[in-house]
Amino acid sequence: MGKSEDVFNVERIRQLIDLMEERGLNEVELKQEDQHIRLVRGLAMAQAAVAPAAVPVAAASVPEPTPQAIDGPHIKVITAPMVGTFYDKPNPNAEPFVKIGSKVSADTVVCIVEAMKVFNEIPAEVKGTVVEVLAGNEEAVDFGRPLFKVDTRS
Amino acid sequence: MSLPEINAGVRQRILKQGWIQFLDWQHEVDSTNQRAKEWLLDWAESASLPALFVADVQLAGRGRGGKVWFSPEGCLMFTLAIGRSLLPESPQHWSQLALVSAAAVAECVASWIPDGTRRVALKWPNDTFLAGRKCSGILVESGAGGARLIGIGINVHVDFSPAPAEVRQRATSMHEHTLSDEPRLNDRKLDPGQVLADLLGLLQFYIGDWSSGGDAWLSVWQRRCLLSGKMLEIRCGNGQRLLGSCLGIDAQGCLMLETQAGIACIASGEVLSWQ
């Protein structure tokens, strides 16, 4: 078998990575004879990177994952539904609405986004556990700005 | 002036208008917004909305950031609770509710004041000014089930003589701008209940128009913007201070400020000074 037909060809793996991103695929596994490689995106990818890799060269061609990335099909991102100022607590002396580890359901208020003196309480609209807080208290946020990541498995 | 004494007729008028589904009228409460919040929690999805919470005297009226609202008798104080069905589909527009409500207040105040067209102005984002002094403020909060609580205070017939000097300098009451000691307009006696009944009709119109994509509120702001053309100092929501010349309100309700760095559209902030 010629080198160009090798499934672990670097170019082909790059194409696969592009395809995974384009189609939102999180995992692809390739096998050829006694060698195999698994390409995984997000947090699971970081774990996969330390799994036994049959072909070190091919594995080295996979981009390094972001160490702190919390991603995957089970992670939902709560975004700002409007422009305004992000408040993580109902008033300056109160505890934050949610913290990392807080369980939320669809109706749980996770923050306030204030604009034009309208204090909009933002519900989670998803069930799970908060795994990351992405905005700081009193930060100016635009429409669509990621605010929280929620793990929907728990 | 005690509202219950004069307002049995007003209550009937409000309920007859058919928009308000629940009316709670107390002599004294801590805050009508707080009372509305608790009521919404109790009734949840079966709450009859829009609901109206009125108080003759509010002991702990609040403005933005916990500021105390001076709330004596003669000040019309109420909270209108509206359901999510009266909000536009896109949450991006929800923050305009303060401006929409203020447009209704300004039109209402102007209708009672001689030369109201010229003397009533709106200060971004939701204060109504009469002859250069504040006569109304609004605080909009969220309630259970996605409801919105529009807390409105209007100085209708307030005697400010016992108020702190700072309040006397900056605040005014509608009755000070009418033509006689017994203020009347078109043979109607000025009192908080009558103003309330008028205002509810205007709120129904402006909120309904806004909710279905209309911009009647914006044309009121364009006519009545107090800050347009003035030099402003603004503290943005994130604490940043900006200086610049006010270009008015954009279609989203943001305050447009021409600064040395360019034009800023401010969604969240407090106007510290204007001249």
Using a CB cutoff of 8 Å and minimum separation of 24, what contacts does B116-119 make? Answer: B119/B177
Spatial CA neighbour of B174 closest among B140, B149, B141, B199: B199
Order across the sheet with B255-259: list the strands.
B262-266, B255-259, B241-249, B231-236, B269-274
B83-101 pLDDT tens trace: 999 999 999 999 999 999 9
Three-class secondary structure of residue A28 per DSSP: strand
A77 DSSP β-pair partners: A149
Q: Please name the member of A82, A83, A117 whose beta carbon is closest to the beta carbon of B140.
A: A117
From first CA to last CA, the distance across chain B in angstroms is 36
Q: Among residues of chain B, what percentage have pLDDT more than 70?
A: 88
B146-187 pLDDT tens trace: 899 999 999 998 888 888 888 889 999 999 988 655 555 555
Average pLDDT score over residue span B120-130: 96
Residue contact A82–B92, C-beta within 8 A? yes
The answer to whether residue B201 scores a pLDDT higher than 80 is: yes
Maximum CA extent, chain B: 57
Give the residue, B203 or B45, on which the prediction is more confident: B203
Q: Tell me the pLDDT band of A100, cut-offs 50, 70 and 90.
A: very high
Task: State residue B131's pLDDT score.
Answer: 92
Task: State residue A48's pLDDT score.
Answer: 32
| ipTM, 2 dp | 0.83
Say whether residue B95 is in contact with chain A using an 8 A CB cutoff.
Answer: yes
Say whether residue A114 is in contact with chain B using an 8 A CB cutoff.
Answer: yes
Topology classification of domain A64-151: OB fold (Dihydrolipoamide Acetyltransferase, E2P) (2.40.50)
Residue B22, both tokens: 């629940």
Residue contact B237–A112, C-beta within 8 A? no
The answer to whether residue A142 scores a pLDDT higher than 50 is: yes
Task: State residue B63's pLDDT score.
Answer: 54
Spatial CA neighbour of A99 closest among A90, A88, A107: A88
Say whether residue A119 is in contact with chain B using an 8 A CB cutoff.
Answer: yes
- Amino acid B58 reads Q
Place of tokens 């390094």: A64
Task: State residue A60's pLDDT score.
Answer: 38
Q: Please name the member of B91, B125, B239 whose beta carbon is closest to the beta carbon of A116.
A: B125
Residue contact B237–A114, C-beta within 8 A? yes
Evaluate whether B37 touches B141 at the Cβ level (below 8 Å).
yes
* Helix (H), strand (E) at residue B58: strand B51-58
B241-260 pLDDT tens trace: 999 999 999 999 999 999 99
Q: Tell me the pLDDT band of B35, cut-offs 50, 70 and 90.
A: very high
Please state, as a whole number, how many other Cβ atoms lie within 10 Å of the Cβ of residue B109. Answer: 25
d(CA B57, CA B41): 23
- To the nearest 10 degrees (0 to 180), the angle between helices B8-17 and B192-211 is 20
d(CA B174, CA B40): 32
Which of A88, A118, A125, A145 would best serve as a mutation to test chain B binding (most B beta carbons within 10 A)? A118
- Amino acid B31 reads S
Instruction: Provide DSSP, A81-97.
Output: SSSEEEESSSSTTSPPS
DSSP B86: G
Topology classification of domain B227-274: SH3 type barrels. (2.30.30)
Residue contact B268–A85, C-beta within 8 A? yes
Give the residue, B121 or B11, on which the prediction is more confident: B121
Average pLDDT score over residue span B129-143: 94
d(CA B33, CA B79): 6
The answer to whether residue A44 scores a pLDDT higher than 80 is: no
Residues of chain A numbered 68-87 and touching chain B (CB < 8 Å): 81-85
Domain ranges of chain B: 3-223, 227-274
Residues of A in contact with B264 (CB under 8 A): none
- Domain B3-223 part of CATH 3.30.930.10: yes
Give the residue, B66 or B191, on which the prediction is more confident: B191
d(CA B217, CA B196): 19
Domain ranges of chain A: 10-40, 64-151
Average pLDDT score over residue span A79-83: 95
Using CA atoms, how far residue B182 sits from A79, B2, B179, B187, B191, in Å, is: 54, 16, 8, 11, 10
The answer to whether residue A54 scores a pLDDT higher than 50 is: no
Q: Which residues contact B65 (CB under 8 A, 6 or more apart)?
A: none
Average pLDDT score over residue span A96-124: 95
A11-29 pLDDT tens trace: 777 777 777 777 666 666 7
Give the residue, A98 or B116, on which the prediction is more confident: A98
Give the residue, A7 or B266, on which the prediction is more confident: B266
Evaluate whether B236 touches A108 at the Cβ level (below 8 Å).
no
Average pLDDT score over residue span B38-63: 81
Residue contact B126–A116, C-beta within 8 A? yes
Assess whether the region B3-223 and the region B227-274 belong to the same CATH fold: no
Task: State residue A20's pLDDT score.
Answer: 73
Rounded (to 5) percent helix, strand, coil in chain B: 35, 30, 30
Nearest CA in chain A to B99: A116
